[in-house]
Structure 1
Amino acid sequence: MSKNKVIVLAVLEGGMSKSEAARRYGVGRQWVHELLARYAAEGDAGLAPRSRRPRTNPQATDPDVRARILALRAELTKKGLDAGAETIAAHLEREGRTPPARSTIHRILRAAGTVAPEPRKRPRSSLRRFTAAQPNEMWQSDFTYWTLADRTEVEILDFIDDHSRYLLHLTAHPKVTGTVVTDAFLDTAQEHGLPASTLTDNGLVYTTRLAGGRGGRNAFETLIASLGITQKNGRPSHPQTQGKIERFHQTLKKWLKNQPEAHTIADLNELLAKFRHVYNHERPHRALKRRTPSGAYAATPKAAPAIAAQGEHWRIRTDRVDADGKVTLRHAGRLRHLGIGRAHKHKRIILLVRDTDATAVEHGTGEILAEFTINPARGYQPKKQNTPGPKTGGVVDVSGHL
């Protein structure tokens, strides 16, 4: 028998006064009155413990905000974008709403059955992360695989800024080759400036350091060294070094799976251009404190290679040697004709220009074909006599001096 029932029976059947029952059972006289009234109205049910929860909660999430949280979860998931609590909070802020705490948003999602239970994960606080301090301090690059509608496998190449996660380049190709990587790097550098360093895995399109010394440097290694850019490569069989770009590939593929299938590489590149805009300008990033990558990339002064930081003027371009063995370069307001040699006619080259110094590097091999010191008084520019020929396999000085 409950204490409440004992108190009621002591008064109604034992003839005890309300004050005496209150003293004997250690309760207030008002509580005895309350119990008698409940018993009279509801019987034994009125004596059962009742919830002490307040009828209203001034801190409860507004129903409209709760509904918008669930709507955003559905919208973002349908688009193949991240739909976690941090992202939802960022979207609420953009809409002019004050978002509840991240834990509150997660509880709302869990209560609605939109969060699948997951095994306990390693706490984020235990992870050691490196992030570059400035934009262009380090670019990460890698490529991943995707399948067209007819099950043709293609490869997607990307460059990401380590500091801001800004997606600098994203294109699909039948196969990512050394030439594709070099062209993409040059295009990206023309648009965003040169990075101080790069970080990639040890694929042969990026480095030949694990090739047993065969073939010397590839075109990408030669180009990077000639520009004074520090080249970094992860440890073999240790993809965690390129963790940011590996995680990016998961985000990309999740988004692509929610889009119409691409039938051609051109179709896929249209989708990738759309994704690049969404990723850079619309999707808030948790690691960036809900900022977008474009906002983070523009917020801080950019780093540069040591040579560029010294104020020297650099130009990079690709060209093709004409039938007479020359390429044309505009310098000091006039067109200059650089004599590379008829032996190299029709070859694709990378032309590296620093002030009055120019170096022609064969595209795809990284071999130096000719070096020049431009004479402003002449239109035709002969190459330096000590330039390594095509059979000597010369390379560019890693110190950056052309």
Structure 2
Amino acid sequence: MSHANARLTVHGRAELVRRVVEQGRPVAHVVVEMNVSRATGYKWLARWRAEGPSGLVDRPSRAHRLPGRTSAQLEAKVVALRSARKLGPARIAPLVGLPASTVHAVLRRHGMHRLAWLDRPTGELVRRYERARPGELVHIDVKKLGAIRDGGGWCAHGRGSDQHNHSRAEVGAGRRVGYDFVHCAIDDHSRLAYAEIHPDETSSTCAAFLRSAVAWFATVGIDRIQRVMTDNAMAYRRGTAWRQAMTDLGIDQRFTRSYRPQTNGKAERFNRTLADEWAYIRPFRSSAERAAALPAWLHTYNHHRNHTALAGQPPIARTTVNNRAGHYS
């Protein structure tokens, strides 16, 4: 295809040839009229004489010979390593003696998907999906975090500090500080998220969190939760309190495929964001201090933080309520 500033299109080249051949006019006069150089005029005239009308069509700019191109045998080896061992360009490169950039080009040329798009155990392409309406599907998961001793641990005071040595001695004596369980619910369509911190992940705790999450989603305009997706933990599979809560709320249960955390990928990704931007953003001096920072972070996440999957908009922008981003302090 001719570029935007091309002097001659296919039709212009044909007109140049017509004026020279049919009208018998000099090439020098015709190129002046058509505002192109003599070299251009003679080039298209020569191509027309050699190939006919097909010679006036644009040719690809690719070189006729590529002496430095990777051999077919090496390309086959690169593709085989990617398929069999699920390796990226940086790891394949030293195995085949090629630069990583060349390996990347070979993989693209053969239509190999990015590793991030694949299910590692099976090599199958992970099919991404998004529900059409808020409340159609909510992902629920639990993020397990180590509890923080009062006064803070080595993250706050440094390795070798008295607090660090004291905590190591307590662990050695079998006195562990335990864990905090962050229960999270993420709406599939809007990515609105709700979270609570609990001391465990039993069926009754999960059921209480579900009821709280449903009530919270109602406050932001999502009045009906149709389905909930969880992993296959016993609390969700066989927990009496959980199943009763699902029945009372009229919600359908969906489970992830075994050994396929990608099925609940939005919850997994939210857990990572939660850890990076809240749980580990700074050293906290107690679990209570960390817990106190959670509501403000959730507000920022839902109402102000731009989301790449939502074209840079915050999750609240995808709901039907009037409380849009920017109306909050």
TM-score normalised by structure 2 residue count:
0.48
Compare the two structures and name the one with the higher strand fraction: 1
Larger Rg: 1
Compare the two structures and name the one with the higher helix fraction: 2
TM-score normalised by structure 1 residue count:
0.40
